[in-house]
A and B are shown apart, each in its own frame.
Chain A
Amino acid sequence: MKRIVAALVGNPNSGKSSLFNLITGSHQHVGNYPGVTVEKKEGVCVHKGHEILFVDLPGTYSLTAYSEEEIITRRFVQEDRPDVVVDVVDASNIERNLYLGTQLIEMNAPLVFAFNMSDLAKRRGLVFDLEQLSRLLEARIVPTVGSKGEGREALLDAIVETAREGRKPRIHGLNYGGEIEEELARVESVVLSQEKELADKYGSRWVALKLIEQDDEIVGKVQHKEVLDVVTKSVFHLRGIFRDEPEIILADRRYGFISGACQETIKNSVERRHDASDVIDAIVTNRVLGLPIFLLLMYTVFWLTFTLGEYPMLGLEWCFGRLGAAVSGLWPAGSDSWLRSLLVDGAIAGVGGVVIFLPNILLLFLAIAMLEDTGYMARAAFVMDRIMHKIGLHGKSFIPMLIGFGCSVPAIMATRILENRRNRLTTIMVIPLMSCGARLTIYSLIIPAFFTPHWRGPVMWLVYLIGILLAVICAKALRLTVFQGDTTPFVMELPPYRMPTPRSIAIHMWQRSWMFLKKAGTVILWISVVLWVLASFPKPAPERLVGLDREHAQQVALEYSVIGRVGRFVEPAIRPLGFDWRIGTALIGSVAAKEVFVSQLGIVYATHTDNNADALREKLQAHYTPLVGFCIMLFSLIATPCFATVAMTRQETRSWRWAAFQFIGLTVLAYVITLVVFQVGRFLT
């Protein structure tokens, strides 16, 4: 069977991913490009004896060297040399969409155009002379409707045909007009004679075009200074004639070529009127209504995720409980086999503690996929931009931060909606400051222990507020230092509203959730095991446990373990925060998952087995002041994101460096703030 590699390119919002989903169905593989955070999707489809491998490249408007996505797309087309490049074009918006096509023509890529959403174009009154247009563009054109599955066969036929023909020289291509063509010829001839290698690899005309555009990547590849001298002269000459950058002049000429081609081949029978999109926009981006509508929608998403998700979550919890009990049952009752404990207390409890969030994650990504596919997300970014801009973030950053109140792990995954890397990293770094659901278990232990019912609400509110304020301050500080640089100029398309297809939403949701499960099965499993070992070994000598009940035996064992020892070891360091070794031990345990703090403290105070929070609260009241209680909450809020968060940060930033930076940075911040609060508080009380 012959294998054909087809690259899918297209503008954002051209319906490229829905077409990709339509063609490849569930036979997809999602990964990341090495070294960058841009997603890489591949899918296979068999058509008339040909196996076609589709590579879904990032959506771009152009193929310059200014953004990660554009460089990836360009490199793939030029260096991996796919057999066919499919340019997905929004047929209801040909002009802007074909701009990318003109650049693919310049690369002499073996092209097929998919005129997607052709039903919408028809409704808008656009009539195409595809035969004529295909002659002008020198490529096959296939009308498709990605959301309804129309045009699939014809597109696959066109891909197979184009692959069979291979690359062939173009007859006319794009003509840039007198002066520009003269300079292009000059540069091209010097490229041909001096930079043989570049010319062979990319084609001399394309290299000449990029040099005149002063494309950083290609300029950097030039070996001979004489070539650059010729280019500088040409650029200077063109600037003098046109009083603008050559880059802009070339863009203008490409648009000229497109409008020429369109004028001959497209008839627009209806003038674009106010359509439904404009009406909806007038409401949801309204100056007064926009923000409340957005907040209401977000609240609904939130409510859906954590209320509706609760029942399946309880179900999963029950399943893991049963699994633990079943595995436990393999050993005789009362056995203290370490293997049993490793499996039940380490692996099953650890992975279970994270996997029970799966219903939440499914629902959350369902909601996000809906907001994205309908086109509302772009409006949300628009509405929030005014506020988020002040702290140096993008309007869209607000969404992952909000999700962070539920759980940092899906929140960090949700930062994928941010295109700009600096914005994305900043958002990831501050997400753990949004107080997550797991930390709520700590607050609900501490607050009733130290505060009268009257004060409980305000204290809780204060803790959350401190988190938000710190996130704002940190984001601003990070943008001014580590992630310094231009706040990316805010330019964004507002795509027309569309009805999302259940199929594409399902695929979207499933891919994200599968990634989460894989994570839980690998990194989180290992970390749970390691923490279990640290909390279980070394074991005290059996004679020390003689005569103790189960509860006190656990207490002694934890004290004796590595974690207990580390807790004691760090006591001098955490003394100034008002913490003793018991709190230290529990805090170290809470690195596995924040809620572990409560169970660890239960073990340390030997109130674990009654499962009675009040018994533990009494002990806390006896040992600590309300100020210490508050400091515990403060420290838990800010410090050491749990390991699942660290692992997710590592995955999404593709670097342990950022994960370590986040972990250490937040811990130091927590230490300093808690220190100040405790010392000042002690002075005042």
Chain B
Amino acid sequence: MGEAVMKESRIRPLSMVTTGDRVHLVRVRAGRGLNSRLASMGFVPNVEIRVVSNGHPGPFVIIVKDIKMVLGRGVAQKVFVQ
């Protein structure tokens, strides 16, 4: 059971989250420009992110603050969640 909890709260890039999961943002590890752009679009610490489709290997569809967005895979790798 302890392992399950561990797994749940493990910090990982958004690109590894499977379709349908809900996760929380820990931080964005990117340059200042992208960082600030994502922050203004609602990517602030602890916000809930719902993965609508992990379109491996292509872009990524998510819902943040009730808004549907597409992220490139490169961006999804820089967004860390738990």
Residue numbers of A with Cβ under 8 A of B are 61-62, 64, 66-67, 93, 95-96, 99-100, 213-214, 244-245, 247-248, 251-252, 255, 272, 277, 281, 285, 287, 378, 382, 385-386, 389, 486-487, 489-496
The contact of B58 among A61, A67, A277, A386, by CB within 8 Å, is A386
Provide the bound-state CA to CA distance between A214 and B32, in Å.
10
| Residues on B with beta carbons closer than 8 Å to the beta carbon of A496 | 68
| Residues on B with beta carbons closer than 8 Å to the beta carbon of A248 | 27-28, 35-36, 39, 44-45
Provide the bound-state CA to CA distance between A496 and B72, in Å.
20
Q: What is the number of contacts between chain A and chain B, taking CB atoms within 8 Å?
A: 111
Do residues A492 and B70 form an inter-chain contact, with CB atoms below 8 A? yes
The contact of B59 among A252, A382, A487, by CB within 8 Å, is A382
Other than the given A489-B37, A491-B38, 20 more pairs (CB < 8 A) read A93-B65, A213-B36, A214-B32, A244-B27, A245-B35, A248-B45, A252-B45, A255-B47, A277-B68, A285-B61, A287-B55, A378-B70, A386-B58, A486-B31, A489-B72, A491-B34, A491-B72, A493-B41, A493-B69, A494-B69
Nearest residue in A to B27 (C-beta to C-beta)? A244
| Residues on A with beta carbons closer than 8 Å to the beta carbon of B34 | 489, 491
Do residues B59 and A490 form an inter-chain contact, with CB atoms below 8 A? yes
Do residues A61 and B75 form an inter-chain contact, with CB atoms below 8 A? no
Whether B20 sits at the interface, judged by CB under 8 Å, is: no
1/0 contact string of B31-71 vs chain A (CB within 8 Å): 11111111111101101000001010111010001111111
Provide the bound-state CA to CA distance between A568 and B53, in Å.
63
Provide the bound-state CA to CA distance between A64 and B32, in Å.
11
Do residues A493 and B68 form an inter-chain contact, with CB atoms below 8 A? yes
Q: Within the complex, what minimum Cβ distance (angstroms) separates B27 from chain A?
A: 6
Q: Within the complex, what minimum Cβ distance (angstroms) separates A67 from chain B?
A: 8
Do residues A494 and B35 form an inter-chain contact, with CB atoms below 8 A? no
Chain B contact patch, size range: 20 to 34
Provide the bound-state CA to CA distance between A493 and B68, in Å.
6
Do residues A62 and B40 form an inter-chain contact, with CB atoms below 8 A? yes
Provide the bound-state CA to CA distance between A494 and B69, in Å.
5
| Residues on A with beta carbons closer than 8 Å to the beta carbon of B16 | none
| Residues on B with beta carbons closer than 8 Å to the beta carbon of A213 | 36
Q: Within the complex, what minimum Cβ distance (angstroms) separates A260 from chain B?
A: 14
Q: Within the complex, what minimum Cβ distance (angstroms) separates B3 from chain A?
A: 27
Do residues B75 and A245 form an inter-chain contact, with CB atoms below 8 A? no
Nearest residue in B to A63 (C-beta to C-beta)? B40
| Residues on A with beta carbons closer than 8 Å to the beta carbon of B55 | 287
The contact of B41 among A96, A252, A272, A486, by CB within 8 Å, is A96
Do residues A491 and B36 form an inter-chain contact, with CB atoms below 8 A? no
Do residues B40 and A61 form an inter-chain contact, with CB atoms below 8 A? yes
| Residues on A with beta carbons closer than 8 Å to the beta carbon of B44 | 248, 251-252, 255
